[in-house]
Amino acid sequence: MCGIIGYVGNDQQAVEVILDGLSKLEYRGYDSAGLAVVEEGRIFVDKKSGKLSNLKESLKEKVHLANVGIGHTRWATHGVPSDINSHPHCSCDGKVAIVHNGIIENYSALKSELIGKGYKFISDTDSEVVAQLFSYFYNGDLLETLKKVTERLRGSYALGIIHEAEPEKIVCARKESPLIIGVGKNSNFIASDVPAILKYTRDVIFLENDEIGILEKEEVKVYDKNLNLIDKKINKIQWDMEQASKNGYPHFMLKEIEEQPEVVNKTLEFYTKEDGKEKLTDLFEEIDFSKVQEIDIVACGTAYYAGLQGANYLKKIAQFRSNVEIASEFRYSDPIIDERNVVVFVSQSGETLDTLMALRLAKSKGAKTIAITNVVGSTISREADVVIYTLAGPEISVASTKAYTAQVITFYLLSLEIALKLNKITEAEYKNYILKAYNLSGKIEEIFDSKEKIKGIAETIKDKRNGFYIGRGIDEKVAREGSLKMKEITYIHTEAFPAGELKHGTIALIENDTMVVVVATQKDMVEKVVSNIKELKARGAYIISITKNSYKDIIDVSDEVLAISDIDDILAPVLAVIPAQLLAYYTAVAKGLDVDKPRNLAKSVTVE
C-alpha cells in the first residue's frame, strides 16, 4: 500500500496530474514513488525510492506528452524500500503496468506457477505477480482479463492497470482496499483517497468490493465481478482543497491541533439542537438500547484510545457495561457477542482493514454495529448498521489529533443520547452536560497561550531516548494517547501505564533525569498521584505534569507543569490531551524531524 492515482484525459498532461496527485497523498506515509504513462504506444515507467522529490528530479529533464497514466506512493510490506520494489510494476514484456494497494496472500504460489510458464520476476514484492498474471491472461479485452486475474487473487487489493495495446484506457478493481473513481470533464481519475483528485473534480464514485471499472477520457463504466454493468451513484465531495492545505502553518499537525476548538463546536452544534434535544434519531430507529446488554468498542491506535474514553462515558453517563478491544485482536479472541450486543467501530479513515474485518465478524454474529468515522462514503461507514460521522474535516498529518478529539466528543454525545432515551438522566441533566461541553473550545484555546513554554520543555527533552507517561483512572487513557504521539513523531520510546503500577516493576527503570509525563485531572485521584510523583522524584525523575490550574499539590511537586483550566472532571481529559499533542509536536520540531510524515507510518492502514 499506500497511495494510488490514475488519469485518463485529452490534454496530454498525465505526468503533471499524477505528480500533483501523489503530492496530495504524501500525508499517508510512503517510502518510494513512481509512475507509468502510455506514450507513443509504449509504456514509460520511472520510479524512485525515498521522497516524491526524487521522482520529480528524475523526471525534470524529460518531456512526456502522455494523456494516460498511473502513479503510486509505496509503503513497504513485501520487499525493502528500493527502486526495483517501487510501483508501478510491469510484466516482463513491458506491455502491462500496474499499481497495487493491499496484500496478495497467495502471491508465492502464483509466482511459482508463472515462473514455470517462463515469466521472469525482478522484484521482491507480492504486487508484481498481478502484472505478470495480467500479461498471461490478456486476450485483447481488458475487462475480461481483469476478471480472470481477480478470480485468481487471494487477499486485498486496489488495482490500477494500463496496457500498451489499449493506450486510452485504465482498468481498476478493488477488494478490501479503498479505491475511488473521479468523474471529470473529458478526463477521469482513479485514486486511493479524495485529496489526490480534488483539484480536478468533486464528483466521485466509491467502488465496492469485487467491482471492476474501466475509464476512458469521456466515459466511466463499473461492473460487478461477473461483468454485469452497474448503475453507480456519483457522490459530491463537500470539502475543498483549502481545508486540506496548511494555510500558512509550518506543518499540518500544528494546524490540526489548533483547529480543535472549531471541531468541538461544530460537532456539538451538529448533533444537538438549541433546545438540547437529541439529533441522532437514526440511531434509535435502528437499535433498541433497552434490549442491549453490552456495548463493545473496537478500534486501532489513536481511535482505540478514543474508544477507551468512550467506554468511560458509556459507563459513567449511560450506565452501560462497555469493553474496548484492539481491532487486530478482536477477530482472534473468540468474542462472545450476539444480537444483544452493540459494537462500535472507530476509524478516522473508515478504511482501516483490521477494523473493517472485525465489523464483518460482529455482523455475522448478529450484533448491531455503529461506525464512528470521519470519511463520508468510506467502506466502514457503508457496511455498519448506523454511521455517526465526526466533523473534523480532512486530517492530513499522519499523527491524528483533531480526529481523536472529534471521536471523544462524539462518544460523549452518544452516551448522553443513550442515557436520555433510557431515562438514566433527566432532560435537565442532559442540557447541563451539553452546556459543560460548550465550555471546551474556549478552554482549549487558552492552552495555545502556553506554546512558548511547551517549546522550552521540548528543547529540554528532545535528546531523551525514553520516558514514561502515567495517570490514574481515565487519565491513564489520556497518558496512552500522549505516549503514542511522542513515539509516532519524535521516535522517543515512551511507555504508558497506570500510576499505581509503578511499584510493581517499572520503578526499577527510574533513575536520575528519567522523563515522566504525569496526567492528573481527576479530583479524587490527586492525593494518590502526588504520592506517585514523590516516589518518582525520590529516584531522580524529571516530572512534567499535565494538570488543572487549581491542583496546587501536584504543581508543587512537579518540575514542569502544563496547566489546563478548571473544568468538570468528566471533560478534563479532553483538555489534557492538547498539551500532550503540543509537547510531542514541538519535540519533533526541535529534533528537526518530518512531523507530518513520520517514518514507517501510514495514515490509512489498509493491510492486516
For residue range 85-114, what is the model confidence (pLDDT) as tens digits?
Answer: 888 999 999 999 999 988 898 989 999 999
Has 217 been annotated as catalytic?
Answer: no
Catalytic site residue from 111, 169, 255, 603? 603
* Statement: residue 514 has pLDDT above 80: yes
The DSSP letter of residue 155 is B
Average pLDDT of the residues of the chain? 90
* Statement: residue 227 has pLDDT above 80: yes
Phi/psi-derived region of residue 230, left when phi > 0, alpha when psi is between -120 and 50, beta in every other case: beta
Over the stretch 384-410, which tens digit does the pLDDT of each residue have? 999 999 988 888 888 999 999 999 999
Strand partners, 3: 73
* Statement: residue 485 has pLDDT above 90: yes
Has 316 been annotated as catalytic?
Answer: no
SS3 339: coil
- Of the candidates 146, 244, 254, 204, which has an alpha carbon nearest to the alpha carbon of residue 583? 254
Helices and strands: H and E segment counts in the chain: 20, 25
- Rounded CA-CA distance 307/313 in Å is 10
pLDDT reported for residue 312: 95
Between 210 and 375, name the one with better pLDDT. Answer: 210
Residue with cell 486501532: 300
How far out from the chain centre does Cα 284 lie?
28
The shares of helix, strand and coil residues in the chain, as percent rounded to the nearest 5, are 40, 25, 40
Percentage of the chain beyond pLDDT 70 is 94
Q: Are strands 294-299 and 322-326 parallel, antiparallel or unpaired?
A: parallel
Q: Give mean pLDDT, residues 548-570.
A: 95
- Rounded CA-CA distance 298/330 in Å is 7
Task: Output the CA–CA distances (angstroms, integers) from residue 84 to 45, 74, 124, 157, 259, in the order listed.
Answer: 11, 12, 8, 20, 40
Q: How confident is the model at residue 460 (pLDDT cuts 50, 70, 90)?
A: very high
DSSP string, 81-127: SSTTTSSPEE-TTS-EEEEEES-BTTHHHHHHHHHHTT----SS-ST
Q: Give mean pLDDT, residues 545-556.
A: 96
| Residue spans of beta strands (DSSP E) within 185-278 | 187-191, 203-206, 212-216, 219-223, 229-230, 235-236
* Three-state secondary structure readout of 7-33: EEECCCCHHHHHHHHHHHCHHHCCCEE
Taken in order 177, 182, 183, 185, the sign of the CA dihedral is: negative
SS3 486: helix
- Rounded CA-CA distance 509/588 in Å is 24
